[in-house]
Amino acid sequence: MKFSALNFSLILSLLAASCGVYTPQGSDIPLIDHRDMVNLGGSISLVHAQGNLSVGITDHLATAISCSYGFDHKYYAQGMAGWYRPIGSGVLELYGGFGWGHGKQYHDPAPGEGAIGNYQLYYAQADYGWNNLANKHLDIGFALKAGLLHSDLQRIDPSIIYLPGLMPSNHLLLEPTAQVRVGWEHFKFSIALAFCYLAPRNRWDSPALFPYDPLNLTLGLTIKLKK
């Protein structure tokens, strides 16, 4: 019991350490399986609140958007479009997308040293999952996002009168997400766990590279509208 409680405390501490400019989103995984299917969702975490919308445009084309807003006026929005196809009892989705965000990060909150700025994400995303399992009470989805993250950060340091200009950097991003939705056919509660890895890898130690959070846990609701 003590071991389990310790592990749980460590996980909560890691999730609460929102020290990065970027946080893995934990966005609703669409799992679109037919034309005119609409998913409307919202979620919260220790880092941000988020809204999601996905739509099946044709028999094989879909689109999705999501926006998040968090502490210290961090915000991020992304949109993607792509192809989907039911395979067996599941559905496969392949998307391409673009995201834009703004955030800040402090190395030491007392003197206020850190970095602030904007970033852009160009990415591809592959999803696979199952809708309406267990008599339509359960959805399970997995997503893998991969792309190029470009940032232009400004150093924050009250001890320096003349700060250097923007510090651009480019990183390869990998962001796997797992999501479970439980409830009824058209209304489900959701939980998602998202991880993030950037290369070159840097999170907190230097504003010269892009600081980010390694994981995020979200809780939310998803409403499914089907024609």
Q: What is the pLDDT of residue 116?
A: 82
- Residues near 175 by beta carbon (within 8 Å), at least 6 away in sequence: 24, 25, 144, 145, 146, 194, 195, 196, 197
Please state whether beta strands 187-195 and 167-183 pair in parallel, antiparallel, or not at all (unpaired). Answer: antiparallel
Q: Which CATH number goes with the domain that contains 87?
A: 2.40.128.90
What pLDDT is attached to residue 16? Answer: 45
- The domain containing residue 95 runs over which residues? 2-225
- Please tell me the predicted confidence (pLDDT) of residue 80: 98
Residues 6+ apart with CB under 8 A from 3: none
Contact 99, 123 (CB under 8 A): yes
Tell me the mean pLDDT per 10 residues along the chain, length 227: 51 54 90 94 92 96 96 90 94 98 74 78 98 94 96 73 65 96 95 92 54 91 84
pTM of the predicted model as reported, rounded to 2 decimal places: 0.85
What's the total number of domains in the chain? 1
| Per-residue model confidence (pLDDT) at position 109 | 55
